[in-house]
Structure 1
Amino acid sequence: MRAATFFDGEEWREGVISLADGRMLVRDATPADHLPRLDGIVTGGFTDHHVHLQLVDTTGLAASTLGRVVDLGANVTEVARLGATLAPVRLEYAGAFLTAPGGYPSDRAWAPAGSVREVNDPAQAAEAVDEMADAGARSIKIASNTTAGPVFGDELIRAIVDLAQSRGLTVTAHAEGPGEAQRISRLGVARLAHTPFTEMLDDDEIAAQAASVAWISTLAVHDDETRRVATENVRRFHAAGGTVLYGTDMGNGPTPVGLNAGEIAALRAAGLDEDAVLRALDPLDPRDPGARLLVLPRTPGDSVDPLRARPLLPEDLKV
């Protein structure tokens, strides 16, 4: 048993870590004075809020420090099957992209068969939402890219949001093209799959989005000029109190299968301090008995660097 400081995803806490029947358990407690202290800070595995598991070799996840991944565009049957193979990493998924007929990414060679559903009207939207929900989806993904084809009108997006909410799901949107991130955020979506990168948002729009939607970062996936725009947008969004979530678009090019050092660096460059980066990584609560547990080295004067995290091992608790 050891005393430890742990991060529950929102705040720092003091507690005790014990070993019972081979399982490490974290609990809130005031440690006894004589109890030895763990050398480091404990948290749950990190979350990548934007991945495409059908486009990567998932075997590397088991050795990573990710505890949860959110797939935002896949054949829902195939991605559901993957969930059983990823332990100890948890999988959440949206299933297929919902898009307008001929819309992005229906014409992309990288899109696996069954990963895109073209929707004409609310009746077809209801069928698609029900199919994804029945297959275990936790959210719905819509594509709204005016640079690559037709997109849904406002009324159909609102209908999809309402349909998703009726099944207990939120909606995440890929918004690309002039004015599209601004339009989408006013229609009830919960998250943008990417920090807006087409153009710099004005201060009023930043404030409105900070009050209504969360942004998934995906800064490192862009070229230099696009990243500059996205980084400045997320800097101002974060300063306005907006919720920034770590996400990498894993599978979009040669991205790491695990924690992405480039994305962490990009978040820091956008002005997120160490606590804000940890919150963006949305770690699992280490008090959850099923959560992957990590230890982050820390010495006086040092910052907490998620790239130095490693799995917590039973040997770490031995005195």
Structure 2
Amino acid sequence: MTSSAATYFDGTTWREGVLALEEGRPVVHDETPDASLPRFPHAIVGGFTDHHVHLMLVDPSPLTSSRLGRVLDLGAPFARLREWAPKLPVQIDFAGAFLTPPGGYPSDRWWAREGSVREIADADAAALAVAEMADAGASCIKVMSNSEAGPVFDDAVFAAIVASAAEHGIPVYAHAEGPGEAERAVRLGATGLVHTPFTERLDDGEIARQAASAAWITTLAIHEGEPLSIAIDNLRRFAAVGGTVLYGTDMGNGPTPIDLRAEEVEAMRAAGIDGAALIATLAPVDPRTPGAVLLRVPQPAAGVFDPLTAAPLAPTDLVTALTVELP
């Protein structure tokens, strides 16, 4: 076994531990390193989280060598998720099917694979659909509320979905697009928006109300022009009043990388989210987790690292470092 002292980020704070090569794989141990151990020259973090992906729209195999350690799939048939989960080192959480009213978005889209959309007509159908998603292991429910691309749920059915999800102990995330939809979704109980609002500029009072009860997933880089400017302005004010911001790219929406997306990170910085706040949105997994994706980064300045400098930690990195350190 090859070992070195190492600094690692446990998801909350920096700690000292031991980086070891066991059965050909780097692992982090939460133990005080012996003074005789050489020091690994880089800091260690766990893989980052993309809180908005669509594995049905990409070849997810590049995730194996990416900087992501966890993804939240927000719309895919269960068969697709079951196919890929055993093949990938990343943790896959999921919402299951898009819940939408009859004829609602994205039921008419070519990219909506069979089984990825569930059309809900009433409260009874809502309860059945939510129960099905929960039984399949969904970590959240995704509700579609895109008034610019078709009908949306009335308040009663939307509220019924929220109530059913609450019975199963899982949150509801909404795709809110169109005038007033972001405000309505949160008012009706959505605990998150899967896109930073980009249809319209929310006033400061609404921003404060949303910050008190809902999380926003960023997805800034899928936009350009006015929608991008609106989203960055909304996100800047949301973050400034303490709103929970989660990094997400809408992977599969256009030519998005199957990895950490630099354009998303830079757009978040344009919204004033950087340093420790940026790291929090990326929710790196604890590198001590068995099987966790491990990344190496330059030693952080003032306790903060730049995620764009992270690279997957390979077994050869540890061997090479120790070979250089040892006489």
Tell me which interval the TM-score lies in, with the shorter structure as reference length.
over 0.9
User: Is the aligned partner of 1:45 residue 2:47?
Assistant: yes
Number of the residue aligned with 2:70:
68
Task: Report how far residue 28 of structure 1 moved.
Answer: 3.5
Deviates more, 1:54-63 or 1:193-202: 54-63
Q: Which residue of 2 aligns with 1:163?
A: 164
Give the Å deviation of 1:33. 4.2
Q: Which runs of 4+ in 1 moved over 4 A?
A: 299-303
Given that 1:73 and 1:96 are in contact with CA atoms closer than 8 Å, whether structure 2 keeps it comes out as yes
Specify the alignment match of 2:126 in structure 1.
125
Gapped regions of structure 2 (runs ≥ 5) = 323-327
Question: In the alignment, is the contact (CA less than 8 A) between 1:80 and 1:136 conserved in 2?
Answer: no
Q: List per-residue Cα deviations over 1:45-80 (Å, max 9, x = no partner).
A: 111111111111112111111111111011223223
Give, in angstroms, the shift of residue 22 of structure 1.
3.9
Given the superposition, is the C-alpha separation of residues 302 and 13 from structure 1 closer, same or farther in structure 2, using an over 3 Å criterion?
A: closer
How far is the alpha carbon of 1:260 from its aligned partner?
0.9
Question: Is contact 1:80–1:135 with CA below 8 Å preserved after alignment?
Answer: no
Cα distance change of structure 1 residues 300 and 201 upon mapping to structure 2, 3 Å threshold: closer
2:4–2:19 Cα contact (<8 Å) kept:
yes
2:300 and 2:139 map into 1 onto residues whose CA distance is 39
Cα offset for 1:251?
0.7
**Secondary structure of the structure 2 residue equivalent to 1:25:** strand
**C-alpha RMSD over aligned residues:** 1.9
- Matched residue, 1:82: 84
The Cα offsets for residues 137-181 of structure 1, whole Å up to 9 and x where unpaired, read as 221111001111211122222221221222232211100111111
Equivalent position SS for 1:2: strand
Pair 12,210 (structure 1): closer, same or farther in 2 beyond 3 Å: farther
Q: Residues 196-218 of structure 1: CA distance to partner in whole angstroms, max 9, x if unpaired?
A: 11111111111111111111000
SS at match of 1:165: helix
Identity of aligned residues (%): 58
Aligned partners of 1:69 and 1:89 also within 8 Å? yes
Gaps of 5+ in 1: none
Alignment of 1:107-118 (within 5 A): 107-118=108-119
Q: Which moved more, 1:108-117 or 1:42-51?
A: 108-117
Q: Counterpart of 1:24?
A: 26
CA distance in 2, matches of 1:283, 1:120: 39
State how many pairs are aligned: 318
TM-score (structure 1 length as normaliser): 0.93
In 2: Cα distance, 1:222 partner to 1:72 partner? 18
Letter in 2 for 1:258: D
Instruction: Write out per-residue CA displacement over residues 237-261 of structure 1, whole angstroms, 9 at most, x where no aligned residue.
Output: 1111111111001111111111111
Alignment map for 1:1-319 (pairs within 5 Å) = 1-85=3-87, 87-298=88-299, 304-318=305-319, 319=322
Would you say the 8 A contact 1:2–1:38 is kept in 2? yes
TM-score scaled by structure 2?
0.91
- The amino acid that maps onto 1:80 is R
